[in-house]
Chain A
Amino acid sequence: MHFLALGALVFFLFHLTTDRGETQDGKIVVTRGKVEQLVTGFSRTWQRLPTQEELDGLVEDSIREEVLYREALAMRLDKDDTIVRRRMRQKLEFLTEDTAAAAPSTDADLQGWLDKHPDKFRVEPTLAFSQVYLNATHAGDNASAAASKVLAQLDSAGESVAAAELGDTTMLPHQFPLSRVDEIASVFGDEFARRVAQLEGGRWIGPIQSGYGWHIVYVSERTEGRPKPLSEVRDAVQRDWLAARRKEIIDATYSKMREKYAVIVEGLAPQADARSKSGRVANTVQRP
């Protein structure tokens, strides 16, 4: 374990002294720090130290990379390379993004965010129900008639009826325990779930349609949604708030950088008034 501490220390020194200094013309220096970095990388991949032979291979490969990298730069191979350009943009955006985390949120920030977006952080309502299924092809155009028959049976029998025995056979569950609307939707479909969520409880109602056919439904239990206090959802609010901040900062940083440039798009008048608030050029470009 002391090795790791040593490695970290040397890495730190490496950053201090050689981070930008190794590119002296004609000279390639593989510093102790670089070697330690290679060893650390290997150890974290293979969970053991490299052998001397393996380490020699890693060092040789890093030299090869450095040589080719410098030669490529000298040949300006980085210019007009889509991948290089996009990668550099991505790198800059990553760096910019991080400044969002530099100004940590205050309680006021988070509470304000929670107040503005209450629906995102609620405990959702749940409901439990039973259903009797009528196969659409079975019932055919007489869905209403078939449903009325079953309804009559259910009403007369009351809650004690073995609802599972009525209607058509199905693999769909006959009893659904207390669940959120999205859980019900994942089994029955969105429309059915939303309709059932609004049904009056305590009696059989139908027919209600789903992608499978028709259902007679009995909502047996409900729990109400409630808003959650900040103390319960702090992490989620923080993440959401931070995501919005990140975007703001990237846009603001870009705007500032953009101001340094005069942009000409051929075929169009100079861009001074065509810019939107975020500094983006209008998408349609007229070409002569």
Chain B
Amino acid sequence: MKPQINIALTTLVAAFAVSSASLGFAQQAGTTDIGTLDKESADQAFKQRPYSPYAGRTFPTRPLFGDTHLHTSFSMDAGAFGARLGPKEAYRFAKGEEVTASSGQQAKLSRPLDFLMVTDHSDGFGFFPKLFGGDPKMLAYPQGRRWYDMIQSGKGADAAIEIVVAFSQGKMDEGLLPLPGSPNYRGAWQETIKAAEEANDPGRFTSFIAFEWTSNTGGNNLHRNVIFRDNGDKASRVEPYTTQKPLGGDNPRDLWKWMAAYEEKTGGEVLAIAHNGNLSNGRMFPIIEPGTGKKIDRDYAETRVKWERLYEATQIKGDGESHPFLSPNDEFANFERWDKGNLDLSELKKPEMLEFEYARSALKNGLKLESELGVNPYKFGMVGSTDSHTGLAAVEEDNFFGKTSASEPSPTRATHPFVKTEKAVIMAWETSASGYAALWARENTRESIFDAMQRRETYATTGPRMAVRFFGGFDFDAKDASNRMPGQVGYTKGVPMGGNLPAAPAGKAPTFLVAALKDPIGANLDRYQIIKGWLDAKGEVQEKIYDVVWSGDRKLGADGKLPPVGTTVDVENATWTNTIGAPELIAVWQDPDFDPAQRAFYYGRVIEIPTPRWTAYDAKKFGVSMPKDVPMSTTERAYTSPIWYTPAKP
């Protein structure tokens, strides 16, 4: 019975779509060859949900967690710091297998990730010819035959040495030499693609083909990760964009040109995710375009927002959500702060740079630029990732394998300098065990995950795997907070994180359905906040933080602040207990200060109760004591992609 109903529905829908297109939108009815479809029946057909609440679900029901930014031994700098693990090992680790880290210790994640992008630096992708592909044509050559026989008779090591020597001395038979485009030709890019294709396991684990464009002129970080929606057949038709002239460049505009050329020629899809605005010394989210002295123009804004739908707001090299200087009223803004200077500390930070470096400030300036240019260049969703250079996406506080293989767990790893110049020092203990990207995709496949990233239905976490929902609309009410399936009511009555609110009905203010579920093996939650940014009547950007729902029976103080949740952290033993906080938070909130004439964005921030920081775990495990100024406790958090409100045109 059921399949027949589905077919009938589909036919009705298809027929309606066809007829309404030809008759025009204003029509209320369309006649097809299976009858007349009037508005009432159409409404009925579209709204009809299966009786069983679990059947026919097309919206995502559990978040997927992954790392959108990981380096392996294929990256020059990772190899230089001792990374021995290549993409293959990186995928195995992400899938939950135990591997031997570059430092020789065993490593394993607490549980597998759902997806991984290996984003080795596009510069320094050398060319390593492949010697043998098991190609029978090679056996036709005496050399090939000789080596094959040696290998077959257990003398593989001898054969390997001979092959290596022959190749390096140019004494290989011509036919054995690999040609570009042939199956035996092997560049590091081809190897990267091959590793990604082999690791991809649709439905279970998704790998992506990706690389990092590491624009770093003058030490100022403008890095982007470029991620392909496509498989190897398209990606292998292109070479990654590098930063070395003349073939490459360091201007994001040129990267966007490269991306456009790729899509046009192959029909594929790519997107770019920037990170570490905090190390760009004011260049990441400019109003004045760096190097030109001129204000960014509409073309820049359109192009940027087209290609850069997401921003990596938290990672090992510091948190990028906001800064105490920019948000003096935000008691959670001083978190894993890296604000001494640029990436190589060749230039120190000046306070006026900060505005153009942090996500919240950029989102705000984006509203202003939208009112001036007609397009918001900084309309991005948020993710976290590691940027680890060890091949290990390992950023749990009790399982942190460091930024480089030189800082894998050891008694002294926290107390070495990470970057040191005559201008400043960043110590290794300042590196943050953060973060992961979480997203709401319908399936664990390349297409589904990429599409979730494109529509910005993502959130950043600093490591834990909380499930976070954030829906906006004009019709949520308190009852929706008691609904056991917030996803269902959220998608039906509103838009998810990353979306746009429709025009405000007269007299109504936006309402938000927020929900968060703690990491099943993690800490309880302290609170769920909504952070609002808006462009006021004077054309100035503003921000305000609202505590929406929290654990326990705390009450807002006279100053409007919510008292802290307290702490159960025992630093000496590196433990905590879930005797404070709550495992779930859910609420509906309405903006009490809404002005329908003012552009705005809202995003969710979920904060856990305090837990031991990786430095406390190191101190306990190795029996060492950390210097006084080393933080030993942390409050993990998640940042959702915003939902934007745009006033209706007059």
A interface residues (Cβ-Cβ under 8 A, vs B) = 4, 8, 11-12, 15-16, 19-21, 40-42, 44-48, 54, 57-58, 61, 82-83, 86-87, 90-92, 94-96, 98-104, 135-137, 164, 169-175, 177, 182, 185-190, 192, 210-213, 239, 243, 249, 252-253, 255-257
Q: Which residues 401-438 of B have a CB within 8 angstroms of A?
A: none
Q: Does B241 contact A (CB under 8 A)?
A: yes
Q: Does B549 contact A (CB under 8 A)?
A: no
Residues of B within 8 A of A104 (CB): 134
Segment touching A, from B515-523, B528-536, B640-648: B515-523
A241 and B126 alpha carbons, distance in the complex (Å): 27
CB distance from A80 to the nearest CB of B (A): 14
Contact A94 B128 (CB under 8 A): yes
Q: Does B88 contact A (CB under 8 A)?
A: yes
**Contacts A171-B484, A253-B160 given: A185-B111 contact, CB under 8 Å?**
yes
**Cβ contact of A212, chosen from B110, B151, B238, B583, cutoff 8 A:** B583
Residues of A within 8 A of B239 (CB): 41, 44-45
**Contacts A58-B246, A101-B132 given: A91-B126 contact, CB under 8 Å?**
yes
**Cβ contact of B583, chosen from A42, A91, A136, A255, cutoff 8 A:** A136
B interface residues (Cβ-Cβ under 8 A, vs A) = 54, 61-62, 73, 76, 79-80, 82, 88, 96, 110-112, 114, 126, 128, 130-134, 147-148, 151-152, 156-161, 163-164, 167, 169-170, 174, 177, 179-181, 186, 198, 237-241, 245-248, 258, 261-262, 264-266, 465, 467, 469, 482, 484-486, 515, 517-522, 578, 582-584, 586
5 more A-B contacts (CB under 8 A) besides A41-B247, A182-B112, A249-B160?
Answer: A41-B239, A58-B246, A212-B583, A253-B156, A256-B161
Residue of A nearest to B82 (CB): A86
**Contacts A41-B247, A243-B88 given: A46-B521 contact, CB under 8 Å?**
no
Residues of A within 8 A of B240 (CB): 45
Contact A47 B157 (CB under 8 A): no
Residues of B within 8 A of A192 (CB): 520
Residues of B within 8 A of A48 (CB): 261
CB distance from B383 to the nearest CB of A (A): 19
Contact A212 B518 (CB under 8 A): yes
Residues of B within 8 A of A212 (CB): 517-518, 520, 583-584
CB distance from B214 to the nearest CB of A (A): 15
**Cβ contact of B131, chosen from A16, A102, A177, cutoff 8 A:** A102
Contact A99 B245 (CB under 8 A): no
Contact A57 B246 (CB under 8 A): yes
Residues of B within 8 A of A15 (CB): 174, 177, 179
Contact B181 A4 (CB under 8 A): yes
Contact B132 A16 (CB under 8 A): no
CB distance from A225 to the nearest CB of B (A): 15
CB distance from A106 to the nearest CB of B (A): 10
**Contacts A45-B238, A45-B239, A137-B582 given: A95-B520 contact, CB under 8 Å?**
no
Contact B258 A45 (CB under 8 A): yes
Contact B163 A95 (CB under 8 A): yes
**Contacts A12-B179, A98-B131, A177-B54 given: A249-B156 contact, CB under 8 Å?**
yes
Contact A187 B520 (CB under 8 A): yes
Listed from nearest, the 6 A-B pairs whose CB atoms lie closest are A189-B520, A102-B132, A47-B265, A252-B157, A20-B170, A104-B134
Residues of B within 8 A of A11 (CB): 179-180
Contact A46 B518 (CB under 8 A): no
**Cβ contact of A99, chosen from B111, B160, B241, cutoff 8 A:** B160
20 cross-chain CB contacts under 8 A: A11-B179, A15-B174, A45-B238, A45-B258, A54-B246, A86-B80, A87-B76, A90-B73, A95-B163, A98-B186, A170-B484, A171-B484, A171-B515, A171-B584, A182-B112, A189-B521, A190-B110, A190-B521, A213-B583, A256-B158
CB distance from B229 to the nearest CB of A (A): 17
Contact A58 B247 (CB under 8 A): yes
Residue of A nearest to B585 (CB): A171
A239 and B200 alpha carbons, distance in the complex (Å): 13
Contact B62 A91 (CB under 8 A): no
CB distance from B490 to the nearest CB of A (A): 11
CB distance from A150 to the nearest CB of B (A): 16
Residues of B within 8 A of A243 (CB): 88
A251 and B291 alpha carbons, distance in the complex (Å): 51
Contact A98 B258 (CB under 8 A): no
A126 and B298 alpha carbons, distance in the complex (Å): 54
A169 and B179 alpha carbons, distance in the complex (Å): 63
Contact A87 B237 (CB under 8 A): no
A104 and B58 alpha carbons, distance in the complex (Å): 44
**Cβ contact of B76, chosen from A8, A83, A135, A170, cutoff 8 A:** A83
CB distance from B65 to the nearest CB of A (A): 8
A16 and B482 alpha carbons, distance in the complex (Å): 74
Residues of A within 8 A of B148 (CB): 102-103
Residues of B within 8 A of A86 (CB): 79-80, 82
Residues of B within 8 A of A135 (CB): 583
**Contacts A42-B247, A187-B62 given: A87-B79 contact, CB under 8 Å?**
yes
Residue of A nearest to B52 (CB): A175
A4 and B237 alpha carbons, distance in the complex (Å): 12
Contact A257 B161 (CB under 8 A): yes
A239 and B161 alpha carbons, distance in the complex (Å): 24
Residues of A within 8 A of B248 (CB): 45
**Cβ contact of B518, chosen from A98, A211, A252, cutoff 8 A:** A211
Residue of A nearest to B237 (CB): A44
Residue of B nearest to A249 (CB): B156
**Contacts A12-B179, A41-B247, A173-B61 given: A256-B157 contact, CB under 8 Å?**
yes
Residues of B within 8 A of A185 (CB): 111, 520
Residues of B within 8 A of A83 (CB): 76, 79-80
Residue of A nearest to B128 (CB): A94
Contact A255 B157 (CB under 8 A): yes
Residues of A within 8 A of B114 (CB): 186
A100 and B147 alpha carbons, distance in the complex (Å): 12
Residue of A nearest to B122 (CB): A45
**Cβ contact of B258, chosen from A12, A46, A190, cutoff 8 A:** A46
CB distance from A109 to the nearest CB of B (A): 12
CB distance from A253 to the nearest CB of B (A): 5
Residue of A nearest to B171 (CB): A20
A55 and B156 alpha carbons, distance in the complex (Å): 44
CB distance from A108 to the nearest CB of B (A): 13
Residue of B nearest to A46 (CB): B261
A243 and B91 alpha carbons, distance in the complex (Å): 13
Question: Could you say which of B158, B247, B248, B261 has the most chain A C-beta atoms within 10 Å of its C-beta?
Answer: B247
Contact A186 B111 (CB under 8 A): yes
Residues of A within 8 A of B485 (CB): 171
Contact A211 B583 (CB under 8 A): yes
Residue of A nearest to B53 (CB): A164
CB distance from A201 to the nearest CB of B (A): 19
Residues of A within 8 A of B515 (CB): 171
Residue of A nearest to B54 (CB): A175
**Contacts A44-B239, A103-B156 given: A211-B179 contact, CB under 8 Å?**
no
Question: Could you say which of A21, A171, A182 has the most chain B C-beta atoms within 10 Å of its C-beta?
Answer: A171
Residue of B nearest to A100 (CB): B156
Residues of B within 8 A of A54 (CB): 246
**Contacts A169-B484, A186-B62, A252-B156 given: A12-B520 contact, CB under 8 Å?**
no
A135 and B584 alpha carbons, distance in the complex (Å): 10
Contact A211 B245 (CB under 8 A): no
Contact A239 B582 (CB under 8 A): no
Residue of B nearest to A172 (CB): B517
A47 and B241 alpha carbons, distance in the complex (Å): 12
